[in-house]
C-alpha cells in the first residue's frame, strides 16, 4: 500500500514549489507542519495554506495534504469544536517555545493550554508534540527525556483520553515510555534518526546537513530506534520530518536545524528494513500504523519498490532561487528504486 508521511515540512512559495513533488508522487498523504515563518495559528490560515499546496499538485495527483494547526497560549478551547465540524485540520501541533525552527509563538507552560487539550480529547482531535524541554540550562542531549518526565507524563496523567503523537523520537527513554503508556500515545520516527548517531555530525569535520532537532543521540539510541521501527509495533510509524532549508542558512555561523529527507526517504527505508531482515514489516511502519493511530483508512493505492543490482544515481541537491537545498541520501548507497507510473518523474 502507498505510504503516508506523518510529519512533513513543505514550506511556502519557491521552496514549496520545488519540494512538493518528492512527497506527493510517493506518499498518499502527509501531515503538513504549521511552523511557517508566519505560523498556521487559525483555521482560515490552514485553509489558505492547504489551497496553496493543492494548487501546485498535478491534475491527477493522488496526494492529500493533511493540515495541522499551530498551538499557542492564546488558542481558545471554543475553536476546537469548529475545527472538528469543519474537518479542516487533522491534528494540532505543540511546539515548546524556543525548541526549534519558528517556535517562538509556542507554549511556555503546558498548564496554560490544559483547557484546550481537554476540549481536544472530548472532540477526539490528536495532539502532535515536539518533545523537547527547551532552555540553555538543559543539556541538548537530555531535552527529550526531560520533556517526557516533566511535561508529557503530566499531560497524560491529567488527560489520559487525549490522542498524542510524540514526534521524531530519538531516545531509548522515549521508546520505553511509549511502550508502557496507554494506547492513545504513539510516536513517529524519522529516516535520518534510524541512520545517524551523534558522531555523524562531526565525521571528519562539522556536518551542518546532519544537524536537526531533536539532535541525533548516541549509537545505543539509534540501535533501539532501528529495532523498534522495524519491529512492526503499531505505536511507531514514519514521520520523515523532512525539513528543507537553503544551504546558506545551514552552512552559516549559526546554522539552522533540519534535514531534507523526502526525496529518498522510502528508498532508504527499504534498504534499512532489508538489512534488518524485516522487509515484511515495512508496510506496517510506512502505511498502516500511522493511519490506525490517526483513525483514518489505510490507503488502497499502491507503489512499487524495485531492488537494483547496483546503487542508483543519487541527486545531491535541488536548486531554489540562487541557492540550493541539500538532499539527505547522497552519502549512502541506495539500491531500492521507486517505480513511478509511466510519463512521471521527479
Ligand atoms: C524543523 C524545521 O526546520 O522546521 N527542523 C528540524 O530540525 N526538525 C522543525 C522541527 O520539526 O523541529
Ligand atoms: Zn519537524
Name the residue with cell 499531560.
155
Ligand 1 mutation pick, 241, 246, 249, 265, max ligand atoms within 8 A of CB: 241
Query: 317 has which bridge partners?
Result: 326
Q: Is residue 231 in a domain? A: yes
Domain assignment present for 346: no
Report the separation in Å between the CA atom of 245 and the middle of ligand 2, taken as the mean of its atom positions. 12
Give the C-alpha separation, 205 to 54, whole Å: 40
Mean pLDDT of 21-37: 97
In a domain, 111, yes or no: yes
- Model confidence pLDDT, tens digit, residues 168-214: 999 999 999 999 999 999 999 999 999 999 999 999 999 999 999 99
The per-residue pLDDT for 69 is 97
Q: What is the pLDDT of residue 341?
A: 74
Give me 171's grid cell.
531516545
Ligand index nearest the alpha carbon of residue 33: 2
Please give the distance, rounded to the nearest whole angstrom, from the Cα atom of residue 239 to the centre of ligand 1: 12
**Total Cβ atoms within 10 A of residue 167:** 22
In a domain? residue 177: yes
pLDDT at 346: 74
Query: Has residue 176 been placed in a domain?
Result: yes
**What pLDDT sits at residue 202?**
97
Q: What is the CATH number of the domain that holds 34?
A: 3.20.20.140
Identify whether 328 is part of a domain. yes
| Secondary structure of residue 223 in the 3-state scheme | helix
Ligand sitting nearest the alpha carbon of 241: 2
Q: Hey, whose CA ends up nearest to atom 3 of ligand 1?
A: 258
pLDDT of residue 59 exceeding 90: no
What does the pLDDT read at residue 344? 76
Q: Whose CA is nearest to atom 5 of ligand 1?
A: 258
d(CA 48, CA 45): 5
Tens digit of pLDDT for each residue in 290-329? 999 999 999 999 999 999 999 999 999 999 999 999 999 9
Average pLDDT over residues 25-29: 97
Answer yes or no: is 344 within a domain.
Answer: no
**Which residue among 149, 161, 241, 280 is the active-site one?**
241
Is residue 153 part of the annotated active site? The answer reads no
The residue whose grid cell reads 532549508 is: 245
The helix/strand/coil state of 58 is: coil
Is 212 within 8 Å of 257 (Cβ atoms)? yes
In a mutational test of the pocket of ligand 1, which residue from 5, 9, 93 has the highest number of ligand atoms less than 8 Å from its CB?
9
Ligand 1 centroid to Cα of residue 330, in Å, is 20
pLDDT in tens, 242-265: 999 999 999 999 999 999 999 999
DSSP 259: B
pLDDT mean across residues, the chain? 96
Kindly indicate the confidence band of residue 137, based on its pLDDT and cuts at 50, 70 and 90. Answer: very high
| pLDDT exceeds 90 at position 283 | yes
**How do strand 317-320 and strand 304-307 relate by DSSP bridges?**
unpaired
Distance between CA atoms of residues 83 and 216, nearest Å: 35
- Phi, psi torsion values for 112, nearest 5 degrees: -65, -30
**In angstroms, rounded to a whole number, what is the distance separating the alpha carbons of residues 105 and 98?**
8
Ligand nearest to the Cα of 103, by number = 1
The CA distance from 207 to 196, in Å, is 12
Atom 6 of ligand 1: nearest residue by CA position: 258
User: What is the Å distance from ligand 2's center to 9 Cα?
Assistant: 6
- pLDDT of amino acid 65: 98
pLDDT value at residue 345: 74
- The DSSP element (H or E) to which 305 belongs, if any, is strand 304-307
Cell of 205: 569535520
Domain that holds residue 266: 4-339
Return d(Cα 226, Cα 220) in angstroms, integer: 10
Is a pLDDT exceeding 90 seen at residue 24?
A: yes
129: CA distance to ligand 1 center in Å? 12
Q: Which residues line ligand 1 (CB under 6 A)?
A: 9, 35, 100-101, 130, 212-213, 241, 243, 257-258
Q: Say if 69 falls within a structural domain.
A: yes
Mutate to test the pocket of ligand 1, among 10, 16, 19, 35 (most ligand atoms within 8 A of CB): 35
pLDDT value, residue 86: 74
Number of domains forming the structure of the chain: 1
Question: 78-136 pLDDT, tens per residue?
Answer: 999 888 877 899 999 999 999 888 999 999 999 999 999 999 999 999 999 999 999 99
Amino acid at each position: 500500500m502507498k505510504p503516508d508521511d506523518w510529519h512533513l515540512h513543505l514550506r511556502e512559495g519557491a521552496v514549496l514549489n520545488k519540494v512538493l513533488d518528492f512527497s506527493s508522487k510517493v506518499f498518499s498523504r502527509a501531515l503538513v507542519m504549521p511552523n511557517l515563518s508566519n505560523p498556521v495559528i487559525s483555521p482560515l490560515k490552514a485553509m489558505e495554506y492547504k489551497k496553496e499546496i493543492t494548487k501546485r499538485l498535478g491534475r491527477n495527483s493522488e496526494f492529500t495534504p493533511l493540515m495541522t494547526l499551530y498551538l499557542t497560549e492564546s488558542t481558545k478551547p471554543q475553536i476546537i469544536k469548529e475545527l472538528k465540524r469543519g474537518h479542516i485540520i487533522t491534528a494540532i501541533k505543540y511546539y515548546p517555545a524556543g525548541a526549534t525552527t519558528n517556535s517562538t509563538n509556542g507554549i511556555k507552560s503546558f498548564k496554560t493550554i490544559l483547557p484546550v487539550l481537554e476540549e481536544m480529547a472530548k472532540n477526539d482531535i490528536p495532539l502532535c508534540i515536539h518533545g523537547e524541554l527547551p532552555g540553555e540550562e538543559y543539556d541538548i542531549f537530555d531535552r527529550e527525556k526531560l520533556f517526557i518526565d516533566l511535561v508529557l507524563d503530566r499531560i497524560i496523567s491529567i488527560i489520559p483520553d487525549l490522542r498524542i503523537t510524540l514526534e521524531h523520537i530519538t531516545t531509548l527513554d522515549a521508546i520505553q515510555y511509549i511502550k508502557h503508556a496507554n494506547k492513545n500515545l504513539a510516536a513517529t520516527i524519522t529516516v535520518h534518526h534510524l541512520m545517524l548517531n551523534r558522531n555523524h555530525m562531526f565525521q571528519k569535520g562539522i556536518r551542518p546537513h546532519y544537524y536537526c532537532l531533536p539532535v541525533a543521540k548516541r549509537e545505543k539510541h539509534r540501535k533501539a530506534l532501528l529495532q523498534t521501527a522495524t519491529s512492526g509495533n503499531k505505536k511507531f510509524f514514519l514521520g520523515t520530518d523532512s525539513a528543507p532549508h537553503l544551504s546558506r542558512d545551514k552552512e552559516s555561523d549559526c546554522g539552522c536545524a533540519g534535514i531534507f529527507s523526502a526525496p529518498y526517504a522510502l528508498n532508504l527505508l527499504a534498504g534499512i528494513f532489508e538489512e534488518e531482515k524485516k522487509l515484511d514489516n515495512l508496510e506496517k511502519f510506512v502505511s498502516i500504523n500511522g493511519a490506525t493511530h490517526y483513525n483514518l483508512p489505510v490507503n488502497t493505492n499502491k507503489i512499487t519498490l524495485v531492488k537494483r543490482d547496483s546503487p542508483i544515481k543519487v541527486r545531491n541537491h535541488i536548486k531554489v532561487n540562487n541557492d540550493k537545498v541539500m538532499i539527505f541520501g547522497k552519502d549512502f548507497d541506495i539500491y531500492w528504486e521507486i517505480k513511478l507510473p509511466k510519463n512521471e518523474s521527479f
